[in-house]
A and B are shown apart, each in its own frame.
Chain A
Amino acid sequence: GQSLEQPSEVTAVEGAIVQINCTYQTSGFYGLSWYQQHDGGAPTFLSYNGLDGLEETGRFSSFLSRSDSYGYLLLQELQMKDSASYFCAVKGYGQNFVFGPGTRLSVLP
């Protein structure tokens, strides 16, 4: 089976950098994805890591280390609008998707 763990909450101030970690236990997967969900909204795709290493998309970066069963999402130059829940997810070899429990990020002024 597959399971993912994330911190339940993270708080940071505007302009800061925050890292949201995701550790996982899985028998095999294609890659690690990250999604953002604002309260009352639908999840929106942020990034995907199919290979180990860092992927950068604007203010957001994502990292994967398969040997450490670990990934993270890095948010730079935090803005108030970044306050949301962030989910990591893996796509297993059985084509199923497993999402982590989510991390609620609060950005303070």
Chain B
Amino acid sequence: DSGVTQTPKHLITATGQRVTLRCSPRSGDLSVYWYQQSLDQGLQFLIQYYNGEERAKGNILERFSAQQFPDLHSELNLSSLELGDSALYFCASSGSGRDSNEQFFGPGTRLTVL
């Protein structure tokens, strides 16, 4: 158990809809990262937050947005969903400085868009 929690575990929705994925980092970790992993694909970095502020942006679509709240949990919002958005979405957290080199991944949310 990495200490990172994600909800829900599974999500099934229809095209055009909007969903919110939630992540709680390990206790004490200030950084949260979001990744997308499509079937048999590698991990695509989406976005990173550090202590409530956006730190880095990867291949995140404009239809997607994220935020990190004062209690450090984070939410990833996916809107106008398309079939191609079906994937496993991972959240990870890390500490600061040298500790930022090791990311702890949550169990993931499997999103299916029908």
Taking Cβ atoms with an 8 Å cutoff, the residues of A that contact B are 30-31, 33, 35, 41-45, 48, 50, 87, 89, 91, 94-102
Contacts and interface: CB of A to CB of B under 8 A. Distances in A.
Interface in B1-58: 2, 33, 35, 41-45, 48, 55-58
A49 to B, nearest CB: 9
17 contacts: A30-B101, A33-B103, A41-B107, A42-B2, A42-B105, A42-B106, A43-B92, A45-B103, A48-B101, A89-B43, A95-B48, A96-B58, A97-B33, A97-B56, A97-B103, A99-B35, A99-B45
Contact of B45 (A30, A33, A42, A97): A97
Given A87-B42, A96-B48, A100-B42, A43 B56 contact: no
B45 A44 contact: no
Contacts of A100: 42
Main secondary structure of the interface of A (DSSP, over half): strand
Contacts of A87: 42-43
Contact of A45 (B35, B45, B55, B102): B102
A48 B45 contact: no
Contacts, number: 57
Interface in B60-114: 90, 92, 100-108
Nearest to B31: A95
A44 B56 contact: no
A50 B101 contact: yes
- The CB with the most chain B CB atoms within 10 A, among A35, A41, A42, A45, is that of A42
Contacts of B55: 95
Nearest to A96: B56
A100 B43 CA distance: 8
Nearest to B33: A97
A105 B58 CA distance: 27
Nearest to A31: B101
A50 B101 CA distance: 9
